[in-house]
């Protein structure tokens, strides 16, 4: 992994940021939190859901979005990627074709070409995002991107198509996509994990692949849902000392209640933190090469706008000097 540390430009001062990671690690929540931070800072921000699952819409208590962006908060817009709609838009803008009469046969041709030539569907996704940057329609585009199994092929797709097509209009269009996608001051990637063996393994492997197999800037690793250190060492020892029957009875009488649940809860919290520590340490081992942020587990919040707001606050507190560089 090459040295990606660079504080000359903030992550949210770029124009296009992809957020990816293994399913279930909270990449949609992190994307939503970053969108809230950016929009509150006055940036006209678009969130694009590539997998079209509607997770970001649910987090903002919004109606599901489609290919045409909707405004879900002041300065914050949401769209859902649709490769067929992206093909329509491409043909309309660049080839000046009437879609009413020509979409049917062209769609069949597209399916054939997409199956025969790797990267065609991926480049439509990336091309749509790069086009929005090229036209300066938004200050910032945040991409709730594909999971670890697909993101590398999407990021590498313009380069792959460029190697297949040597001349003509498509080659020219791929060129400006590459200028946007592979310019570190414009585009970056954030990889999200949780403090467990498989997500951390996949995050580190993905970070290495992005760095080696694409020309896209690798901006940061986020470890989400980290159990905070709730107790000092002395407090841990105190709780442990209360677990024998005699001490438990004295403590219960002193507080006028059943303290078993409290002690069991504290033990569970300590165990969760101790189990996560080796995986957190593995991520921190690369912190001299890539920025790392730890986001706390949000107790009892569930999902929705409250989770987004609390994550945004935690991200700002943990990472303010990386999100924005004056």
- Is 70 exceeded by the pLDDT of residue 232? no
Higher pLDDT, 259 or 293: 293
**Per-residue pLDDT reduced to its tens digit, 61-92:** 999 899 999 999 999 999 999 888 887 787 77
* The pLDDT value given to residue 275: 84
- Is 50 exceeded by the pLDDT of residue 100? no
- Per-range mean pLDDT, top range of 6-15, 83-92, 162-171, 188-197: 188-197
Q: What is the 3-state secondary structure (H, E, C) of the chain?
A: CCCCCCCCCCHHHCCEEEEEECCCCCHHHHHHHHHHHHHHCCCCEEEEECCCCCHHHHHCCCCCCCCCCEEEECCEEEEECCHHHHHHHHHHHHCCCCHHHHHHHHHHHHHHHHHHCCCHHHHHHHHHHHHHHHCCCCCEEEEECCCCCCHHHHHHHHHHHHHHCCCCHHHHHHHHHHHHHCCCCCEEEEEEECCCHHHHHHHHHHHHHHHHHCCCCEEEEEEEEECCCCCCHHHHHHHHHCCCHHHHHHHHHHHCCCCHHHHHHHHHHHHHHHHHHHHHHHHHCCCCCCEEEEEECCCCCCCCHHHHHHHHHHHHHHHHHHHCCC
**Per-residue pLDDT reduced to its tens digit, 18-76:** 999 988 899 999 999 999 999 999 999 999 999 878 899 999 999 989 999 999 999 99
Cβ(6)–Cβ(185) under 8 Å? no
Kindly give the pairing relationship between strand 76-80 and strand 70-73. antiparallel
Mean pLDDT of 237-244: 61
**Measured at the alpha carbon of residue 214, what is the angle toward residues 212 and 216, in degrees to the nearest 5?**
115
The band of 131, judged by pLDDT with boundaries at 50, 70 and 90, is: very high
Structural domains present in the chain: 11-228+276-323 (3.40.50.300)
């Amino acid at each position: 992994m090459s040295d990606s540390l660079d504080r000359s430009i903030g992550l949210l001062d770029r124009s296009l940021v992809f957020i990816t990671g293994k399913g279930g690690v909270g990449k949609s929540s992190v994307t939503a939190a970053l969108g809230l931070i950016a929009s509150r800072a006055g940036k006209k921000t678009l969130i694009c859901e590539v997998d079209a699952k509607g997770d970001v819409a649910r987090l903002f208590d919004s109606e599901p979005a489609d290919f045409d962006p909707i405004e879900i908060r002041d300065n914050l817009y949401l769209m859902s990627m649709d490769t067929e709609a992206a093909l329509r838009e491409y043909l309309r803008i660049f080839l000046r074709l009437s879609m009413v009469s020509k979409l049917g046969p062209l769609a069949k041709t597209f399916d054939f070409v997409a199956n025969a030539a790797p990267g065609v569907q991926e480049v439509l996704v990336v091309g749509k995002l790069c086009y929005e940057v090229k036209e300066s329609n938004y200050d910032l585009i945040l991409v709730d991107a594909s999971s670890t199994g697909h993101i590398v092929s999407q990021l590498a797709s313009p380069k792959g198509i460029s190697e297949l097509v040597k001349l003509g209009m498509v080659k020219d269009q791929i060129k400006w996509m590459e200028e946007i996608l592979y310019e570190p001051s414009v585009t970056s990637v954030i990889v999200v994990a949780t403090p467990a063996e498989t997500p951390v393994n996949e995050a580190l492997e993905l970070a290495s692949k992005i760095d080696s197999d694409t020309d896209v800037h690798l901006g940061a690793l986020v470890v989400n849902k980290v159990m905070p250190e709730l107790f000092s060492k002395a407090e841990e020892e105190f709780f442990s000392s209360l677990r024998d029957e005699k001490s438990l009875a004295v403590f219960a009488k002193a507080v006028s209640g059943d303290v078993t649940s409290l002690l069991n809860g504290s033990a569970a919290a300590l165990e969760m933190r101790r189990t996560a520590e080796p995986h957190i340490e593995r991520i921190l081992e690369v912190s001299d090469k890539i920025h790392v942020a730890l986001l706390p587990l949000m107790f009892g919040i569930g999902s929705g706008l409250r989770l987004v707001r609390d994550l945004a606050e935690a991200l700002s507190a943990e990472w303010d000097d990386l999100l924005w560089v004056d």
